């Protein structure tokens, strides 16, 4: 009995020793760990982590609006390398050069407004230079930061130049018929656009024959000139004393009567196109029906083109009257000289002539042939407005 008790006591003593050894070893591990630590290095790592967080996760509003501005510029065809950004005392400035051959400032302005507002920013104000070649947009974020967008047409040839385009409109169709109309349809390039006057005897026939020969057509809207009544645009024309509702109904009826028209331009109209209220009524109907507006620019005081731009419509303005005052060789030489000059100023030139006789048809074809030798490419009206610009929000 006594022998068994001694053996049990010895075994218990050995187990206690092992436990002490384990505790001592664990203590040594902790001592070695704490002695080997570098407090300065740990602080540096913590600071580096915080610095990385500052770099990778800056202010959410700032990232959102900055990226929105850059992404919107890309949608408009502006490469990020073209954009200059400057920090000033009153805000962050973005200088954004636009390709004037592809878009206009009102469209770009409206797109930036829509995108920035969707990103949570607020539009403070905007302004335009007197020349209309630059616009400034002031924007604020919820945290009080100010962003200033400077939109302007590029003048440093950042964008590769495309071939110069020539757009030709032939006015006053609807009054001619028979052989002369057939010759205009068959002997002019299909890219030439026919402007057809409404309410004439051959309006519908002209539209149908033009379409059959692949010519685009627009409505040649008769409008009041300053010289009225000496120069009479007709009983169904638009006059400045008309009410807005009467003007709108008239334009709507013209669209219904010439359903294949992709747009409209003005016939005469030096007085009517200078009246903002009249043009707002006219353009409102055209915009509602997704029509192009070409300002024939019969008066330097016309507001049609500028108003259409502000309304974000597809619009342009006549650059050259081809057959005014006559169609002589001297006149043709003068027009080609002007066309050569315009080539140094813009990529697209809009020319207007008239369908009165066969001589003007031959004259037009001679002009087009000379223009192509000059480096111009004849293009249709609709193609002039083709682009991959984003839809407005």
Say if 253 falls within a structural domain: yes
Same domain flag for 146 and 88: yes
Give the pairing of strands 134-140 and 146-153: antiparallel
Core vs surface per residue 87-121: b (16+ CB within 10 A) or e: eeeebbbbebbbbbbebbbbbbbebbbbbbeebeb
Same domain flag for 64 and 210: no
Assign residue 224 the CATH number of its domain. 3.20.20.370
Name which of 66, 152, 146 is nearest 109 in CA terms: 152
Same domain flag for 137 and 181: no
Same domain flag for 114 and 256: no
Say if 50 falls within a structural domain: no
Same domain flag for 212 and 337: yes
pLDDT score of 14: 54
Same domain flag for 176 and 74: no
Q: Which residue has the tokens 């081809």?
A: 322
Mean pLDDT of successive 10-residue stretches along the chain, which has 393 residues: 40 56 60 47 30 34 79 90 94 94 86 93 93 92 95 85 87 98 97 98 98 97 97 97 98 98 98 98 98 97 95 95 91 97 92 97 98 95 74 55
Return d(Cα 334, Cα 330) in angstroms, integer: 6
pLDDT score of 9: 44
pLDDT score of 19: 61
The residue ranges of DSSP E strands in the chain, in sequence order, are 84-88, 91-98, 122-128, 134-140, 146-153, 164-173, 193-196, 217-223, 263-268, 292-295, 315-317, 320-321, 348-354, 376-378
Same domain flag for 171 and 267: yes
Say if 237 falls within a structural domain: yes
Of 153, 174, 195, the domain-final residue: 153
Of 110, 126, 153, the domain-final residue: 153
Same domain flag for 146 and 234: no
Same domain flag for 193 and 121: no
Of 153, 175, 208, the domain-final residue: 153
pLDDT score of 156: 86
Say if 10 falls within a structural domain: no
Core vs surface per residue 5-15: b (16+ CB within 10 A) or e: eeeeeeeeeee
Half-sphere exposure for 45 (CA within 13 Å, toward CB): 6
Same domain flag for 341 and 373: yes
Q: Which domain holds residue 99?
A: 60-153
Q: How many domains does the chain have?
A: 2
Same domain flag for 277 and 350: yes
Helix, strand and coil in the chain, % to nearest 5 = 45, 20, 35
Say if 41 falls within a structural domain: no
Q: Which residue has the tokens 């962050």?
A: 92
Same domain flag for 250 and 136: no
């Amino acid at each position: 009995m006594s022998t068994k008790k001694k053996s049990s006591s010895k075994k218990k003593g050995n187990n206690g020793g092992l436990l002490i050894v384990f505790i001592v070893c664990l203590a040594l591990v902790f001592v070695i760990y704490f002695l080997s630590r570098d407090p300065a290095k740990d602080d540096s790592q913590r600071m580096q982590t915080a610095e990385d967080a500052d770099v990778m996760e800056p202010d959410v509003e700032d990232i959102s609006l900055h990226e929105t501005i850059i992404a919107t510029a890309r949608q408009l065809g502006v490469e990020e390398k073209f954009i200059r950004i400057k920090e000033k005392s009153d805000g962050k400035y973005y200088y954004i050069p636009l390709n004037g051959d592809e878009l206009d400032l009102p469209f770009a302005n409206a797109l930036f407004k829509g995108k920035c507002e969707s990103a949570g920013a607020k539009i403070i104000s905007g302004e335009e230079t007197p020349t209309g070649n630059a616009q400034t947009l002031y924007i604020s974020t919820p945290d009080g930061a100010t962003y200033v967008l400077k939109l302007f047409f590029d003048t440093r040839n950042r964008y590769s130049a495309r071939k110069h385009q020539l757009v030709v409109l032939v006015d006053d169709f609807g009054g001619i018929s028979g052989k002369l109309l057939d010759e205009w349809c068959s002997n002019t390039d299909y890219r030439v656009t026919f402007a057809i006057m409404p309410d004439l005897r051959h309006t519908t026939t002209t539209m149908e024959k033009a379409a059959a020969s692949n010519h685009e057509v627009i409505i040649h809207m008769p409008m009041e000139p300053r010289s009225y009544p000496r120069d009479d645009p007709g009983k169904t024309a638009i006059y400045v004393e008309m009410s807005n509702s009467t003007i709108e109904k008239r334009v709507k009826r013209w669209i219904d009567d010439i359903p294949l028209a992709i747009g409209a331009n003005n016939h005469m109209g030096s007085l009517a196109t200078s009246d903002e209220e009249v043009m707002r009524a006219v353009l409102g109907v055209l915009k509602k029906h997704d029509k192009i507006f070409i300002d024939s620019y019969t008066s330097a005081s016309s507001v049609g083109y500028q108003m259409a731009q502000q309304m974000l419509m597809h619009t342009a303005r006549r650059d050259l009257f081809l057959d005014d005052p006559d169609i002589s060789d001297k006149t043709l030489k003068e027009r080609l000289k002007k066309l050569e000059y315009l080539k140094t100023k813009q990529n697209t030139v809009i020319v207007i002539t008239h369908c009165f006789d066969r001589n003007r048809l031959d004259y037009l074809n001679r002009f087009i042939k000379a223009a192509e030798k000059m480096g111009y490419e004849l293009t249709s009206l609709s193609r002039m407005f083709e682009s991959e610009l984003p839809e407005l929000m």
